[in-house]
Structure 1
Amino acid sequence: MQNERYNDPNASGDHASPWLENQQQEKKRAKTWIIGGCAALLVIIALGVGLGVGLSKKSGGSSSSLSSSGSSGGSGSTTDGYVAIPGTAGVVKADPNDPSKFDKDSRLKNSFYGFAYTPLGALLPDCGATQANVTEDIQLLSQITTRIRLYGADCNQTALVLQAIQDTKVNLEVFVGIYVNDDDTAYTRQRDLIKNAITTYGTDHIAGVTVGNEYILNSVTAAGESDATGTAGLNAAATLTTKVQDTRTMLSGMSLSKTPPVGTSDAGAYFNTPILEAIDYGLANVHPWFAKTTIDDAAGWTYDFFQQTNVAQANTVSNKPAMYIAETGWPTKSSSAAAATNGAADASVANLQVFLDTFVC
């Protein structure tokens, strides 16, 4: 599917695409998780903009299925003695002595390739994430996916998630994350937290270590530039490359039986050749809302943009990093009447459902 308004998503100047312009305007913000810290799966689904549905690029340029199957934990077949666990949202009833035994919700299906997630209370400076809350989240998430991604490592979130997976015995792997900004101490702190978590829990449930989220987009926007191949974008790629290499060095020095791949995440139009050459995988954030698509075109636009921009670009470098869609979705409401539509479709729960129906399943 093609449309003149996004034929050239990497254009600049007078020919910049609406998608690119809106990426710069709308995403210049503090990077909290799109999903946010969720206490209940219903909240996660309602906020759906940040669902981390993945499309894995194979070396030949093909992509994986949009759905996944697999068993979650929770082996108990009877619910006698299952209770809402104190300190949680009370959404899941479980055996208070064994988190692997919990009630399954028959309405939930394992149909998402992956999901973006940040625990409640896992953003500085207000760390307050608890094991009980994270464990309940994992019990819920394991019923709809076998993969999740984290954006950062502060507030001990990597260890909390891996502990929850261990306790619940669910089939779940994690792309752990290091959120990168211009403060090198923040990178070092998070890298060391991930190292500590790996030392304790190993890497059996770690799918990758993601260094940065939209760092190139943020750097380009802050410099007043419009393209990832300009000075700011290339400098940002160099900074990220140094940190990617440092993370690899850290992992290789741990004598691991399974060494996770190292990648980065950015807005779909902001991967440039130097960063692609440096990573094992890329997580692309691709939001059809910012491209001013209709809701009927949104799913097709997302797939086409990813294949024609991210997969194609990754195939031009010798290492051919695997590419995934890490964020996509549709907003359910706006903060103002002026922003209630992207010019082609409304922000609404009904339109989110259309996107879920046409893209995911």
Structure 2
Amino acid sequence: MNNANLHKVFPGMDYTPLNSQYPDCMHVPPSQNNVTRDMAVLSQMTNAVRLYGTDCNQTEMVLHAIDRLELKDMKVWLGVWLGNNDTTNERQLAQMWKILDKNDASKFKGVIIGNEVLFRKDLTELELLTVIADVKTNLTSKKIDLPVATSDLGDNWTKQMATKVDIVMSNVHPFFAGVEVGKAAGWTWDFWTNHDVVLTKTTDPDIKQIVAEVGWPSAGGNNCGAVNCTTETEGSVSGVEEMNMFMDSWICQSLANGTEYFW
């Protein structure tokens, strides 16, 4: 805590605690100490943390850390992982309801049902929207007032799908499109506004738009999008220097124009 080099400039941060994915966590479980340390750092950069699933007590650990660290402004986006396995989906949703029953809704900013389900082709759009509709209905019956969203690749959203959620959450990664880092911030903005924001701009402006994932890898080679790179310097090049370049051209502009996103 109180690290002078950290600044609260991110609207939100995506976070998955170490060892919190099932079934691996049955053998090596996540550590509350690790989660609390992570939250101490994250709290100096953002007031909102997005989780991806409910397995392995990860949500409970994050909430416990927030409580013990007395992070009065920190909120959690409750994530529910959906896949192509009914047992997994039922387990994730059941745990979500337990969490919401045991905690005041004021601790959360919203509920995100699924991440890149359509991209992986784990569920059809109709199957995904059916789950979302059921969650919204049950939240209403329980008198829990939280927005419901799903997150998928920016080019997987449709107008029909956008009208069935409270928030359109789009994962937009310039690195995987092979965009040079100097052009990445502008490309991200153009892609998001032309693929996603446009879906609700005229039909239902009350539906919120958030970039659910955006960032740049600190290592891992380079990427040329739909084609194979022929050299190590083509396209999107990973690295700490490149990450800082993308941050420098994305963060301040996003703060200025009110773009909400998760880093």
- Scaled by the length of structure 1, what TM-score is found? 0.63
Give the Cα–Cα distance (whole angstroms) in 1 for the partners of residues 50 and 83 of structure 2: 19
Q: Given residue 239 of structure 1, which amino acid in structure 2 is its aligned partner?
A: E
Which of the numbers 96, 103, 110 marks the counterpart of 2:8?
Answer: 110
Moved more, 237-246 or 166-175: 166-175
Name the residue aligned to 1:351: 242
Shift of 1:320: 4.5
Structure 1 residues 258-297: aligned runs within 5 Å:
259-297=145-183
Q: Deviations over 1:211-257 (max 9, x none)?
A: 111111111xx8xxxxxxxxxxxx7211111110111133223233x
Shift of 1:344: 2.9
Structure 1 residues 50-199: aligned runs within 5 Å:
103-127=1-25, 128-170=29-71, 171-199=73-101
- 5+ long unaligned stretches in structure 2: 253-263
Give the Cα–Cα distance (whole angstroms) in 2 for the partners of residues 345 and 210 of structure 1: 29
Q: Given residue 118 of structure 1, which amino acid in structure 2 is its aligned partner?
A: T
* 3-state secondary structure, aligned to 1:278: coil
Which of the numbers 112, 115, 129 marks the counterpart of 1:210?
Answer: 112
Shift of 1:162: 1.6
Q: Deviations over 1:117-161 (max 9, x none)?
A: 011111011121232221221111110001111111111212221
Relative distance call for 1:272 and 1:360 in structure 2 (3 A) is: same
Give the Cα–Cα distance (whole angstroms) in 2 for the partners of residues 129 and 316 of structure 1: 45
Matched, 1:332 2:234: no
Give the Cα–Cα distance (whole angstroms) in 2 for the partners of residues 360 and 122 of structure 1: 29
Give the Cα–Cα distance (whole angstroms) in 1 for the partners of residues 205 and 89 of structure 2: 25
Name the residue aligned to 2:256: none
Equivalent pairs: percent with the same residue? 33
What count of residue pairs does the alignment treat as equivalent? 243
Are 1:290 and 1:342, in contact at CA under 8 Å, matched by a contact in 2? no
Are 1:208 and 1:262, in contact at CA under 8 Å, matched by a contact in 2? yes
Matched, 1:301 2:187: yes
Shift of 1:310: 0.9
Shift of 1:346: 2.0
Shift of 1:314: 2.4
* 3-state secondary structure, aligned to 1:188: helix
Give the Cα–Cα distance (whole angstroms) in 2 for the partners of residues 342 and 328 of structure 1: 22
Shift of 1:335: 5.6
Give the Cα–Cα distance (whole angstroms) in 2 for the partners of residues 252 and 213 of structure 1: 23
Are 1:341 and 1:347, in contact at CA under 8 Å, matched by a contact in 2? no
Relative distance call for 1:280 and 1:342 in structure 2 (3 A) is: farther
Are 2:2 and 2:44, in contact at CA under 8 Å, matched by a contact in 1? yes
Are 2:222 and 2:236, in contact at CA under 8 Å, matched by a contact in 1? no
* 3-state secondary structure, aligned to 1:122: coil
Indicate the structure whose relative CO is greater, using CA pairs within 8 Å and at least 6 residues apart: 1
Report the structure number with the largest CA radius of gyration.
Answer: 1
- 5+ long unaligned stretches in structure 1: 1-102, 223-234
* 3-state secondary structure, aligned to 1:283: strand
Give the Cα–Cα distance (whole angstroms) in 2 for the partners of residues 116 and 175 of structure 1: 9
Q: CA RMSD in A?
A: 2.1
Are 2:176 and 2:236, in contact at CA under 8 Å, matched by a contact in 1? no
Are 2:222 and 2:234, in contact at CA under 8 Å, matched by a contact in 1? no
Give the Cα–Cα distance (whole angstroms) in 1 for the partners of residues 149 and 6 of structure 2: 30
Name the residue aligned to 2:257: none
* Between structures 1 and 2, the one with greater helix share: 2
